[in-house]
């Protein structure tokens, strides 16, 4: 399994499992749990969730899936901006820990910017880290101006990741934000790497994938996996889809294929507003 180094030097899998919108249906619950457990078996040990997903149901499902296997998983969760005050962050983290059935979260993120000052959230993250409730902390959906503001604050440079919308059709971060993060060795966690399945229906990507003997999802994920310092977290709810997605690791794209994708899905030529879903 390819890995990406956090600023601390710890290496985490470059391929993880997103848990957005899982745990919402009793009909699919058993398959979703089996999928997460299979991911652990196959080395996709990073699992991304958040208190917002299903009002905590996603965290509860993840907790059930990793029961008895907690030490195999690298858990990522997020605090909502309206909960990101010092007191609110501490309380939100306790609720997430309870739902996840664990004593620690490996990476805890601010889900997006809200009205609470960054300094207050960082102070809470530091308190949680010192208490052993979280191991690393970072952010999600912060643009370059936000990151510069965060970075200047006390302990702001301890940011371990920025989780961002990034895929072949959402390349805006490559102009300025991604280079800035790379200079500081802050990984990007790419969410919605196949654009909520819309890329699977993209004719241009479909033609590319067919010519190169792979599935469209595999081509889109392999492109992200070719980027330095990028962790890809496709939503995972079915075992067969998980195995198909993991095929992206088995056949990396070569330089000619990457150049072809650049022609089909050009990188940005100027600064872009931050994309979010």
pLDDT tens by residue, 16-69: 999 998 888 889 999 999 999 999 999 999 999 999 999 999 999 999 999 999
pLDDT for 43 equals 95
Collapsing DSSP states into helix, strand and coil, what is residue 191? strand
- CA gap 277, 275 in Å, rounded: 7
Q: Find tokens 């739902």 and name the residue.
A: 99
φ and ψ of 139, to 5 deg: -140, 170
* pLDDT of 218: 97
- Name the average pLDDT for the chain: 97
**Span 227-244, pLDDT tens digits:** 999 999 999 899 999 999
For residue 29, what pLDDT is reported?
95
Q: In this predicted structure, what is the pLDDT of residue 236?
A: 85
End-to-end Cα spacing for the chain = 28
Residue 82 C-alpha from the chain's centroid: 21
Report the pLDDT value the prediction gives residue 187, as an integer from 0 to 100: 98
pLDDT, tens digit, 9 for 90 and up, residues 118-170 = 999 999 999 999 999 999 999 999 999 999 999 999 999 999 999 999 999 99
The reply to whether 53 belongs to the active site is yes
Q: What is the pTM of this model?
A: 0.96
Please answer whether residues 138 and 163 qualify as being in contact, where contact means their C-beta atoms are separated by less than 8 angstroms. yes
Which residue among the candidates 53, 137, 166, 191 is catalytic per the annotation?
Answer: 53
Q: Specify the residue for token string 């959402």.
A: 170
Please, which residues bridge with residue 137 across strands?
Answer: 108
What percent of the chain shows pLDDT beyond 70? 100
Q: So what's the pLDDT on residue 149? A: 98
Of the candidates 144, 237, 217, which has an alpha carbon nearest to the alpha carbon of residue 183? 144
Query: 6: closest CA among 264, 181, 194?
Result: 181
- 252 backbone dihedrals φ, ψ, rounded to 5°: -60, 150
Q: How many angstroms from the chain centroid is the CA of residue 267?
A: 21
In the prediction, which pLDDT does 267 show?
Answer: 97
What CA dihedral angle connects 231, 129, 87 and 158, to 10 degrees? -60
């Amino acid at each position: 399994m390819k890995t990406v180094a956090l600023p601390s030097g710890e290496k985490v899998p470059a391929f993880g499992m997103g848990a957005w919108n899982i745990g919402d249906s009793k009909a699919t619950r058993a398959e979703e749990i089996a999928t997460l457990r299979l991911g652990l078996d196959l080395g996709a040990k990073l699992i991304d969730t958040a208190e917002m997903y299903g009002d905590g149901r996603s965290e509860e499902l993840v907790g059930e899936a990793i029961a008895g296997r907690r030490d195999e998983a690298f858990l990522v969760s997020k605090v909502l901006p309206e909960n990101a005050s010092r007191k609110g962050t501490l309380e939100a983290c306790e609720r997430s820990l309870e739902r996840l059935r664990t004593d620690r979260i490996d990476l805890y993120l601010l889900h997006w910017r809200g009205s609470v000052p960054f300094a207050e959230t960082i102070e809470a993250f530091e308190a949680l880290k010192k208490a052993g409730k979280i191991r690393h902390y970072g952010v999600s959906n912060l643009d370059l101006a936000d990151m510069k503001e965060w970075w200047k604050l006390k302990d702001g440079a301890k940011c371990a990741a920025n989780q961002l919308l990034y895929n072949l059709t959402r390349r805006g971060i490559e102009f300025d934000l991604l280079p800035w993060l790379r200079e500081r060795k802050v990984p990007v966690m790419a969410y919605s790497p196949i654009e909520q399945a819309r890329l699977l229906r993209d004719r241009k990507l479909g033609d590319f994938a067919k010519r190169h003997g792979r599935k469209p999802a595999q081509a889109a994920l392999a492109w992200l996996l070719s980027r330095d310092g990028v962790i890809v977290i496709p939503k995972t709810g079915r075992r067969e889809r998980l195995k198909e997605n993991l095929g992206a690791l088995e056949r990396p794209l070569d330089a000619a294929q990457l150049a072809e994708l650049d022609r089909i899905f050009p990188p940005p030529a100027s600064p872009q507003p931050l994309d979010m879903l």
